[in-house]
């Protein structure tokens, strides 16, 4: 294969006619065949459909469509996005036989742009977790060290990209599930602003928090995929009309950092954080400073409340969203009638973490506790919004770590849910506030990847990408 395994170089060679989409898909299937036995990133590879779709793209090329923005690019989907006629299980036994009856908007947009959906990837059940170990099917391994987790919940999508099987994948991020595995696997992953990308056809986790986003090996590739999947969708009332992204790829321009103010909140360096990880983040901040950016030390006193507020809001929303998986509307039918049937369907179909979230969520929303927990968390969310808005008014972006630690050993945190929840301490704010955030590789600690998080103002995804591209470019020069 003469093409680099990036989104941009694949689409350029397919558009130029120097390779075919069919050859690209053969190569992707070969790579998956070679590597996925060890990594376990995929739940299903759509070999036949992908080959047929590649033929279609080659036919479009032959009939004169030589500028498809994602021509022949193999893209995998986290298993919570619907493709009509294919299983979408959300990593759950409950939905292991559920066949989608329609296609998610993001998938349609990818296909129109010439991309080829290559398969569905492993995830924590219903996107609850931080390690992909809560999948009902198998464990996915970190390609940098197969004794470690890849992070989660989009661990399958991320590991497939990090192992070089595919150039890009989609994940979903409710509390960090794109950025955290990207950080732990050493690739780029972005959670766009809430509303930038349609959630139509995404199996819901926490509806006010969920956002679909891309994972790839370069900032340019992430921008390219995001520029295709974004946009207002009449089928998702929370999607927003926006000026489209100007992917940095097209202009080929790198932002001049001397025009940029970067906030560094002191609350993003906490006790108990891995010192080597903190050191990598400080070095990354130095790189940005040397590149000309003005570094502004700041404080976000409410930031420490983001995690407790998240673990109230998320279970409340998720427990409501999961009510439909009762074995009658969706899922495998239980034994007995009505209540007994619900009980047996949910008892057998759902795993430990999903049950924990449902119990937490229903408790939080029950009479008497609603005011004490849910209402308080919503008040924290509102106060955080005022604080972050004011902070972001004074700077262009905020930077800090994605994760306080590097990838941990498989099995290490499975018996300690609270320590698993703590892994999300730096990522959940972006979901609570809706703001865009990206993870960009910034070196290694203990031999494992570390990601720098860049957070921006609502709908200023462009600035986040521009700063990320500038950082990535400067780092290459170091």
Query: What is the Cα–Cα distance from 430 to 195, expressed in whole angstroms?
Result: 13
Residue 214 touches ligand GLN, criterion: CB under 6 A: no
130 makes contact with ligand GLN (CB under 6 A): yes
- Of 40, 155, 156, 176, the one binding ligand GLN (CB under 6 A) is 176
Choice between 13 and 431, CB closer to ligand GLN: 431
- Residue 242 Cα distances to 231, 414, 458, 459, angstroms: 7, 41, 11, 8
Q: How far is the CB of 203 from ligand GLN (least distance, A)?
A: 11
SS3 293: coil
Contact 349, 92 (CB under 8 A): yes
- CA dist 213 and 234 (Å) reads 19
205 binds ligand GLN, rule: CB under 6 A? yes
Range in contact with ligand GLN (rule: CB under 6 A) among 17-25, 125-133, 221-229, 404-412? 125-133
Minimum distance of ligand GLN from residue 318's CB (angstroms): 8
Of 5, 98, 128, 137, the residue at the interface with ligand GLN (CB under 6 A) is 128
CA geometry: angle 375, 178, 380, nearest 5 deg: 20
What minimum distance in Å lies between the beta carbon of 62 and ligand GLN?
41
Q: By CB under 6 A, tell whether 466 contacts ligand GLN.
A: no
The span of 75-83, 90-98, 158-166, 170-178 binding ligand GLN (CB under 6 A) equals 170-178
CB atoms within 10 A of CB 416: 10
426 binds ligand GLN (CB under 6 A): no
153 binds ligand GLN (CB under 6 A): yes
CB of 202 to ligand GLN, least distance (A): 11
Q: Is 443 in the site for ligand GLN (CB under 6 A)?
A: no
Structure tokens at 167: 């150039």
Question: Distance between CA 57 and CA 80 in Å, rounded?
Answer: 25
Report the alpha-carbon distance of residue 21 to residue 405 in Å, rounded: 39
Q: Which of 20, 111, 121, 177 binds ligand GLN (CB under 6 A)?
A: 177
> In angstroms, what is the minimal distance from the CB of 367 to ligand GLN?
25
**Residue among 128 and 374 whose Cβ is closer to ligand GLN:** 128
Buried b (16+ CB within 10 A) or exposed e, 459-474: bbbbbbbbbbbbbbeb
Query: Which span (21-29, 30-38, 171-179, 216-224) binds ligand GLN, by CB under 6 A?
Result: 171-179
Q: Mask 271-310, x = binds ligand GLN (CB under 6 A)?
A: ----------------------------------------
Comparison of 58 and 205: residue with beta carbon closer to ligand GLN: 205
- Residue 471 corresponds to which tokens in the numbers above? 């950082």
Residue 398, beta-bridge partner list:
263, 455
Residue 368: count other Cβ atoms within 10 Å of its Cβ.
Answer: 7
> CB of 57 within 8 A of CB of 14?
yes
Q: Which is closer to ligand GLN, CB of 21 or CB of 127?
A: 127
Contact pick of 88, 127, 185, 288 for ligand GLN (by CB under 6 A): 127
The smaller minimum CB distance to ligand GLN, of residues 13 and 427, is found at: 427
Stretch that binds ligand GLN, among 65-73, 101-109, 169-177, 278-286 (CB under 6 A): 169-177
Q: Does 173 bind ligand GLN (CB under 6 A)?
A: yes
Distance CA 126, CA 262 (A): 35
CA distance 159 to 27: 17
Contact assessment for residue 219 and residue 182, using Cβ atoms and an 8 Å cutoff: no
Size of residue set near ligand GLN by CB under 6 A: 13
CB nearer ligand GLN, residue 461 or residue 466:
461
Q: Does 79 bind ligand GLN (CB under 6 A)?
A: no
Residue closer to ligand GLN (CB basis): 129 or 195 = 129
Residue 131 interacts with ligand GLN (CB under 6 A): yes or no = no
Contact 152, 123 (CB under 8 A): yes
Q: Binding ligand GLN by CB under 6 A: which of 157, 193, 198, 314?
A: 314
Instruction: Give the interface segment with ligand GLN, choosing from 56-64, 172-180, 220-228, 270-278 (CB under 6 A).
Output: 172-180
Residues that bind ligand GLN (CB under 6 A): 127-130, 153, 173-177, 205, 314, 424
């Amino acid at each position: 294969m003469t093409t680099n395994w990036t989104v941009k170089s694949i689409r350029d060679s397919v558009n130029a006619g120097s390779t075919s989409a069919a050859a690209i898909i053969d190569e992707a299937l070969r790579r998956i065949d070679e590597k996925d036995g060890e990594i376990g990133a995929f739940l299903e590879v759509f070999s036949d459909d992908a080959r047929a779709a590649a033929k279609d793209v080659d036919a479009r090329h032959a009939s004169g469509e030589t500028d498809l923005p994602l021509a022949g690019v193999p893209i995998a989907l986290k298993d919570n996005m619907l493709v009509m006629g294919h299983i979408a299980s959300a990593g759950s036994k409950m939905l292991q036989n559920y066949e989608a009856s329609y296609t998610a908007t993001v998938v349609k947009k990818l296909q129109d742009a010439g991309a080829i959906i290559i398969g569905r990837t492993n995830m924590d059940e219903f996107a609850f977790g931080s390690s992909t170990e809560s999948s009902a099917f198998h464990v996915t391994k970190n390609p940098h060290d197969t004794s470690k987790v890849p992070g989660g919940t989009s661990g399958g999508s991320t590991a497939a990209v990090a192992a070089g099987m595919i150039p890009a994948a989609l994940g979903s991020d409710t509390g960090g599930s794109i950025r955290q595995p990207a950080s732990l696997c050493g690739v780029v992953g972005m959670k766009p602003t809430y509303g930038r990308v349609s959630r139509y056809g995404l199996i819901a986790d926490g509806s006010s928090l969920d956002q679909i986003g891309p994972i790839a090996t370069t900032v340019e590739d992430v921008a390219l995929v995001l520029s295709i999947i974004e946009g207002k969708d009449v089928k998702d009332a929370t999607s927003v009309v926006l000026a489209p992204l100007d992917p940095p790829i097209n202009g080929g321009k790198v932002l001049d950092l001397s025009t940029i103010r970067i906030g560094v909140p002191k609350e993003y360096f906490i006790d108990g954080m891995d010192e080597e990880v903190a050191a990598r983040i400080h070095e990354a901040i130095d790189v940005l400073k040397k590149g000309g950016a003005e570094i502004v030390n700041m404080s976000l006193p409410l930031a420490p409340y983001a995690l407790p507020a998240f673990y109230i809001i998320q279970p409340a929303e998720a427990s409501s969203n999961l009510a439909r998986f009762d074995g009658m509307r969706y899922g495998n039918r239980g034994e007995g009638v009505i209540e007994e049937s619900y009980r047996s369907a949910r008892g057998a179909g759902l795993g430990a973490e999903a049950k924990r979230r449902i119990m937490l969520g229903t408790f939080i929303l029950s009479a008497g506790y609603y005011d004490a927990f849910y209402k308080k968390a919503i008040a924290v969310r509102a106060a955080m919004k005022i604080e972050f808005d004011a902070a972001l008014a004074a700077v262009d972006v905020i930077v800090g770590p994605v994760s306080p630690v590097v990838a941990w050993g498989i099995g290490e945190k499975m018996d300690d849910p609270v320590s698993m929840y703590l892994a999300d301490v730096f990522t959940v704010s972006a979901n609570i506030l809706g703001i865009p955030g990206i993870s960009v590789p910034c070196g290694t600690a203990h031999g494992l990847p570390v990601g720098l998080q860049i957070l921006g103002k609502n709908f200023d995804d462009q600035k986040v990408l521009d700063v990320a591209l500038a950082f990535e470019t400067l780092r290459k020069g170091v």
